[in-house]
């Protein structure tokens, strides 16, 4: 089994849309069900974290800019780590991610193990 | 109480107290002596009471005899040491103060609980020792509970005691700073002890119930002590109360399991459900919500008698949380069952097929249930696999019944 980092990206402007508490609750349930389904297969390594939308970017010569994004559409919203036997399987597991239903994306990246 | 039941009853309640106090006094070096003295005390009682009739206060009588026997043992040991060790301070050990007050009994039992639940011992060894020393179970009863023979249990307990001696484990209450970390193992052992009774395939219903009650009693000892009365401890007791509330409903006269859906809900014990709620409330003080909190909440929803959508949605969500916190095959299977209740069998089948627990007979039982009335042929094939994998007669006959109902 190899580990994979799932990076959840979403359009920061689109997600800023006001949602009702019921919609938020539904959204939360979708996430929990999706990640619960991965955990039920014993393939969840770390549930990870969700990230705040603000932040700063430090560039050479200590140039600091607000906001972490190159493109607003590509803001990283959070990450989780899963395990799977192949990139294909990890990709398959990611297809149910609720971020896809709000126009976001999941980037699946194999983690290079320390011992190869 | 009937006279002929008095001695067994006293044995149940007092043997463990005497042992805990004596072990505490002697240390693990002399644990066999403590067991011998406690057993001998009851033997003396059986003989004496048989001839002379019952004393006015049987409990006090037992304590006095145990105290005298312990004093003799220490004296003999001292004299022996005197002969072989030169310059041994003869006076030092002569005064024996075996304190059998209620306070010292529960203190000794608590300290013993922490000593037994030591990381050097396997969970099986911890439970075995707990049953022997903290619950006063006989070797044959422990063997029956573990579905094994007396020799195996004797060996297991012997090795466990050796290990504790080698490690010089002290029978003391942990330092305040260590309580939380040490408590984790204690709670895990109590949890397993309870499960041993609740899920064991041992045939004797009385024995199974006793195991559960003992786990609850020991858990309650932790609640009575101010230092160990922590949210997690209350959460575990709440979980046990909720589970135990279905004890009479989940087994038929033949000792066979009745599935949750088929249970007579009027047999659920409301008093235990109320107690479970009480301890769940106490567990909610503070910010932590550990594994036992989630499991207690799941168990709470199972005590709700009507099958509302809300009930199963909550159970599903809680299983998701439990799995995110820590994977276990049982949680994965139960989550899928809850999913079937919320989203229907077809959806659950898709999720179930992903679990890949093919060597677990309960997995095939679950798939058998899910496929029933969706694809009965597949259901039957899974139940047949389950039948091949099941080990105990009770499991096999349960699966046979499901199979027959299908054909």
Share of chain B above pLDDT 90, in %: 46
**Chain A nearest-CA residue for B337:** A40
The answer to whether B185 and B116 are in contact (CB under 8 A) is: no
| pLDDT digit string, tens, across residues B206-231 | 788 888 999 999 999 999 999 999 99
d(CA B259, CA B251): 9
Min mean pLDDT across A108-112, B270-274, B305-309, B329-333 is at B305-309
| Structure tokens given for B26 | 């002697």
Contacts of B93 (CB under 8 A, 6+ apart): B74, B77, B78
For residue B91, pLDDT over 50 is answered with no
Confidence (pTM): 0.81
From the number of C-beta atoms within 10 Å of its C-beta (0-12, 13-18, 19+), residue A82 rates as buried
Task: List helix spans (H) across B225-269.
Answer: 231-244
Q: Which residues of A touch B360 (CB under 8 A)?
A: none
d(CA B172, CA B111): 5
pLDDT at B282: 94
pLDDT at A24: 74
CB contact under 8 A, B354 and A39: no
For chain B, the structural domain boundaries read 1-100
Of the candidates B320, B354, B355, the beta carbon closest to that of A36 is on: B320
Min mean pLDDT across A33-47, B186-200, B328-342 is at B186-200
pLDDT, chain B, mean: 87
For residue B259, pLDDT over 50 is answered with yes
Helix B329-343 to helix A21-40 angle, to the nearest 10 degrees? Answer: 140
d(CA B250, CA B267): 9
d(CA B170, CA B167): 9
Tell me the pairing of strands A2-10 and A105-110: antiparallel
The answer to whether B209 and B224 are in contact (CB under 8 A) is: no
Residues of B near A (CB-CB distance < 8 A)? 316-317, 319-321, 323-324, 327, 331-332, 335-336, 351, 354-356
d(CA A41, CA A35): 10
Task: Compute the C-alpha angle A65/A71/A76, nearest 5°.
Answer: 85
CB contact under 8 A, B351 and A35: no
Task: Compute the C-alpha angle A53/A56/A60, nearest 5°.
Answer: 150
d(CA B342, CA A38): 18
Q: Which residues of A touch B327 (CB under 8 A)?
A: 39-40, 42, 44
Contacts of B61 (CB under 8 A, 6+ apart): B45, B55
pLDDT at B212: 92
Phi, psi (deg, nearest 5) at residue B357:
-110, 45
B81 falls in which pLDDT band (50, 70, 90)?
low
Token match 């000892």: residue? B221
**Chain A nearest-CA residue for B316:** A33
B88 falls in which pLDDT band (50, 70, 90)?
very low
Q: Per-residue pLDDT averaged across B340-354, rounded? A: 95
Q: Which residues of B touch A32 (CB under 8 A)?
A: 317, 320-321, 324
For residue B155, pLDDT over 90 is answered with yes
Q: Per-residue pLDDT averaged across B26-44, rounded? A: 85
pLDDT at B86: 47
B87 falls in which pLDDT band (50, 70, 90)?
very low
Task: List helix spans (H) across A1-116.
Answer: 12-15, 21-40, 87-94
CB contact under 8 A, B320 and A41: no
User: What element of type H or E holds B97?
Assistant: none
For residue B385, pLDDT over 50 is answered with yes
Most A CBs within 10 Å: which of B291, B310, B320, as the mutation test of the A interface? B320
Q: Per-residue pLDDT averaged across B326-340, rounded? A: 94
Q: What is the full DSSP assignment across B190-235? A: HHHHHHHHHH---S-HHHHHHHHHHHHHHHHHHHHSTTT--HHHHH
Q: Per-residue pLDDT averaged across A16-28, rounded? A: 73
- Which residue, among B407, B398, B359, has the nearest Cα to B260 in the 3D structure? B398
pLDDT at A113: 85
Count the residues in chain A.
116
pLDDT at A70: 60
CB contact under 8 A, B335 and A47: no
pLDDT at A50: 84
Residues of A near B (CB-CB distance < 8 A)? 29, 32-33, 35-37, 39-42, 44, 47
Q: Per-residue pLDDT averaged across B71-78, rounded? A: 79
Q: Per-residue pLDDT averaged across B262-271, rounded? A: 93
Of A116 and A67, the one with more pLDDT: A67
Domains of chain A in sequence order = 2-110 (3.30.70.1060)
pLDDT at B133: 86
| pLDDT digit string, tens, across residues B392-406 | 787 888 899 989 988
Of B310 and B84, the one with more pLDDT: B310
Of the candidates B320, B327, B355, the beta carbon closest to that of A32 is on: B320
Count the residues in chain B.
407
Q: Which long-range contacts does B30-34 make (Cβ < 8 Å, 24+ apart)? A: B30/B73, B31/B133, B31/B161, B31/B164, B31/B165, B32/B161, B33/B73
pLDDT at A12: 63
pLDDT at A10: 80
Tell me the pairing of strands A63-66 and A105-110: unpaired
CB contact under 8 A, A42 and B324: no
| Structure tokens given for A70 | 């190159």
B90 falls in which pLDDT band (50, 70, 90)?
very low
């Amino acid at each position: 089994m190899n580990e994979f980092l799932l990076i959840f990206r979403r359009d920061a402007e689109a997600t800023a849309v006001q949602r009702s508490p019921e919609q938020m609750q539904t959204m939360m349930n979708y996430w929990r069900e999706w990640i619960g389904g991965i955990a039920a297969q014993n393939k969840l390594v770390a549930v990870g974290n969700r990230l705040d939308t603000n932040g700063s970017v430090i560039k050479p010569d200590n140039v600091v800019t607000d906001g972490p994004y190159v493109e607003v559409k590509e803001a990283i919203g959070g990450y989780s780590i899963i395990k799977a036997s192949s990139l294909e399987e990890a990709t398959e597991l990611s297809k149910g991610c609720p971020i896809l239903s709000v126009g976001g994306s999941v980037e699946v990246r194999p983690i290079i193990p320390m011992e190869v | 109480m009937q006279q002929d039941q008095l001695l067994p009853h006293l044995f149940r309640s007092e043997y463990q107290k005497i042992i805990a106090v004596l072990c505490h006094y002697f240390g693990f070096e002399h644990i066999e002596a403590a067991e011998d003295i406690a057993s001998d005390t009851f033997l003396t009682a059986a003989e004496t009471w048989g001839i002379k009739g019952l004393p006015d206060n049987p409990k006090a009588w037992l304590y006095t005899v145990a105290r005298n026997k312990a004093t003799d043992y220490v004296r003999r040991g001292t004299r022996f040491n005197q002969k072989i060790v030169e310059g041994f301070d003869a006076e030092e050990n002569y005064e024996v103060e075996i304190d059998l007050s209620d306070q010292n009994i529960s203190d000794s039992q608590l300290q013993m609980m922490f000593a037994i639940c030591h990381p050097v011992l396997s969970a099986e060894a911890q439970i075995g020792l707990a049953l022997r020393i903290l619950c006063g179970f006989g070797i044959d009863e422990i063997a029956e509970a573990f579905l094994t023979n007396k020799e195996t249990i004797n060996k297991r307990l012997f090795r466990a005691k050796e290990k504790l001696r080698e490690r010089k484990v002290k029978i003391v209450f942990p330092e305040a700073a260590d309580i939380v970390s040490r408590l984790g193992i204690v709670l895990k052992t109590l949890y397993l002890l309870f499960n041993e009774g609740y899920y064991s395939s041992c045939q004797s219903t009385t024995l199974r119930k006793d195991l559960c009650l003992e786990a609850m009693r020991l858990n309650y000892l932790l609640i009575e002590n101010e230092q160990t009365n922590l949210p997690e401890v209350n959460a575990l007791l709440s979980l046990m109360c909720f589970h135990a509330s279905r004890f009479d409903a989940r087994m038929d006269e033949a000792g066979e399991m009745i599935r949750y859906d088929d249970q007579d809900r009027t047999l659920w014990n409301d008093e235990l459900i109320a107690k479970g709620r009480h301890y769940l409330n106490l567990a909610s003080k503070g910010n932590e919500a550990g594994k036992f909190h989630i499991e207690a909440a799941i168990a709470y929803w199972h005590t709700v008698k009507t099958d509302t959508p809300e009930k199963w949605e909550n159970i599903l969500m809680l299983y998701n949380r439990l799995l995110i916190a820590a994977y276990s095959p049982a949680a994965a299977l139960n989550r899928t069952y809850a999913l079937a209740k919320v989203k229907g069998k077809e959806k659950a089948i898709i999720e179930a097929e992903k679990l890949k627990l093919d060597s677990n007979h309960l997995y095939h039982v679950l798939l058998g249930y899910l496929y029933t009335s969706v694809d009965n042929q597949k259901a039957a094939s899974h139940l047949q696999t389950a039948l091949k994998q099941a080990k105990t007669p009770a499991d096999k006959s349960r699966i046979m019944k499901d199979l027959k109902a299908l054909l």
